[in-house]
């Protein structure tokens, strides 16, 4: 059976992912060529060893037994970890496991990708997105600038007409100033987006960042007769993850300013409007949500909200959500928007959490058998 399984997987040697095949007791049956490069063992050295040879001693108590338990009984595991190379050095990998049956026997497949390589590929992917976005922006900039420039030129030519009344001169000058201010705002927002620095990640307290941002925009809050409601629930004040504090503050400020504008456009008559900021977390993720009961987004506009320069308000440039999405993705996060016209909008940011998960701190099930990885 062992030779049959090996013969069925020669294609694994042509992938840039390390594969290891074991029996149900985590005994290594065969390994791919890339696994040799990743861990420093020859295939002959790996075959016949237990998977514990690739893990550090501190991970043999909970981490590895939990991975094997999940693979056998819960259809697999996916996550990151520090594994051990032949020379004793550590290597960060992204690990995915899965079981399969052959001839009535159960086998386990472990696939490993080096985190540094994945990060490099992700950076290249983000850079390609950034370049594509800039290309789209150049086309849209030409469109955005053309209209105010044409207006300025038209009103300037009118000012040069003889015998023009002072009232008309004043009106034309007012329109020229208006269009000039719009051009200045477009240029400022473009510079802000293009010159956005790449994130410098430090471990930051989430609650402190949110509270600081709320204080920053509190002037607009009072001026628009709006109040913020921060809901922490069981979040706790010690939740942290790696972020760029300055960029994250700008992201949250933009979302809050959007909500303030939205409720101001659709004011009720029952006192100040409330904007809810909700913090939530689990073992793996942190979520920050901003909810309002403002004007909402129509279905026809919803698919365009992240496009550069798209805005339902003529006085706005429409680069805010483009900036927000880019920063969130560069933090490894995701943005989700739910909205109904005249019912309000909820924007939820989800980020991976820097924390040792339960799988490393204890058995995930009382049934997890330590004997799975014993020598």
201-240 pLDDT, tens per residue?
A: 888 899 999 999 998 888 766 667 788 888 876 676 678 8
Which residues are registered as beta bridge partners of 273?
Answer: 226
**Distance between CA atoms of residues 14 and 21, nearest Å:** 16
Q: Are 347 and 333 in contact (CB under 8 A)?
A: no
| Gyration radius of the chain over CA positions | 28
d(CA 354, CA 333): 13
Structural domains of the chain, with CATH: 2-115 (3.30.450.20), 198-375 (3.30.565.10)
Per DSSP, 283 falls in state S
The answer to whether the CB of 65 falls within 8 A of the CB of 40 is no
Q: How many CB atoms lie within 10 A of CB 123?
A: 12
With beta carbons less than 8 A apart as the criterion, state whether 63 and 76 touch.
no
What secondary structure does DSSP assign to 295-347, as a single string?
S---HHHHTTTTSTT--SSTTS---HHHHHHHHHHHTT-EEEEEEETTTEEEE
Q: Enumerate residue ranges in the chain where pLDDT < 70.
A: 1-15, 117-127, 129-144, 189, 192-195, 220-223, 233-234, 236-237, 265-272, 308-319, 354-375
Q: Rounded distance, CA 37 to CA 104, Å?
A: 32
DSSP class of 153: H
- Separation of alpha carbons 337 and 92, rounded Å: 33
Give the distance, in angstroms, between the CA of residue 277 and the centroid of all CA atoms in the same chain: 19
Which residues on neighbouring strands pair with residue 109, listed in sequence order?
21, 98
CB atoms within 10 A of CB 235: 18
Q: What backbone phi and psi angles, to 5 degrees, belong to 97?
A: -125, 160
User: Kind and range of the H or E element at 231?
Assistant: strand 226-231
Token pair for 55: 């893990």
Which residue stretches of the chain are H helix? Answer: 2-7, 33-39, 43-46, 63-73, 115-159, 166-194, 206-216, 218-223, 245-265, 299-302, 320-330, 358-361
Check if the beta carbon of residue 32 is closer than 8 Å to that of residue 19: yes
Identify the CA nearest to 330 among candidates 250, 237, 272: 250
Question: At 281, is the secondary structure helix, strand, or coil?
Answer: strand
What is the per-residue pLDDT for 23?
92
Q: What is the pLDDT of residue 1?
A: 45
Residue-wise burial string across 256-271, b where 16 or more C-beta atoms lie within 10 A, e elsewhere: bebbbbbbbebeeeee
What is the structure's pLDDT at 2? 47
Model pTM score? 0.55
* CB contact at 8 A, 75 and 98: yes
pLDDT value of position 348: 95
Q: How far apart are CA 60 and CA 77, in angstroms?
A: 16
Between the alpha carbon of residue 22 and those of residues 31, 105, 108, 325, 350, the distances in Å are 9, 11, 5, 41, 35
């Amino acid at each position: 059976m062992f030779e049959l399984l090996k013969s069925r997987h020669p294609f694994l040697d042509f992938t840039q992912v390390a594969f290891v095949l074991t029996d149900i007791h985590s005994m290594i049956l065969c390994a791919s060529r890339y696994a040799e490069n990743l861990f420093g063992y020859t295939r002959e050295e790996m075959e016949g060893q237990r998977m514990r040879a690739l893990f550090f001693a501190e991970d043999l108590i909970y981490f590895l037994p939990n991975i094997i338990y999940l693979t056998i009984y819960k259809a697999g595991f996916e996550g990151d970890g520090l594994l051990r190379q032949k020379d004793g050095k550590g290597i960060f990998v992204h690990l995915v496991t899965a079981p399969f049956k052959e001839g009535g026997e159960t086998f386990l497949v472990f696939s490993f990708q080096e985190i540094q390589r994945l990060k490099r590929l992700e950076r290249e992917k983000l850079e390609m997105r950034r370049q594509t976005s800039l290309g789209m922006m150049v086309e849209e900039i030409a469109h955005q600038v053309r209209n105010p420039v044409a207006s300025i030129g038209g009103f300037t030519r009118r000012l040069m007409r003889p015998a023009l009344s002072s009232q008309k001169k004043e009106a034309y000058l007012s329109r020229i100033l208006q269009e000039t201010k719009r051009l200045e705002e477009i240029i400022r927002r473009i510079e802000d987006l293009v010159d956005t620095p790449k994130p410098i990640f430090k471990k930051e307290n989430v609650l402190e960042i949110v509270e600081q941002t709320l204080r920053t925009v509190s002037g607009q809050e009072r001026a628009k007769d709006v109040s913020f409601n921060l809901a922490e629930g069981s979040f706790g004040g010690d939740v942290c993850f790696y972020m760029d504090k300055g960029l994250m503050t700008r992201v949250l400020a933009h979302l809050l300013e959007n909500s303030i504008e939205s409720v101001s456009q659709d004011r009720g008559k029952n006192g100040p409007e409330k904007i809810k900021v909700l913090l939530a977390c689990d073992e793996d993720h942190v979520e920050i949500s901003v909810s309002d009961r403002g004007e909402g987004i129509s279905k026809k506009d919803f698919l365009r909200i992240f496009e550069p320069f798209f805005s339902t308000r003529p006085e706005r440039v429409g680069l805010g959500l483009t900036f927000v999405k880019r920063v969130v993705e560069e933090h490894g996060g995701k943005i989700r928007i739910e909205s109904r016209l005249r019912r309000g909008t909820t924007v939820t940011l989800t980020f991976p959490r820097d924390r040792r998960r339960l799988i490393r701190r204890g058995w995930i099930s009382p049934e997890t058998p330590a004997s799975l990885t014993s020598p």
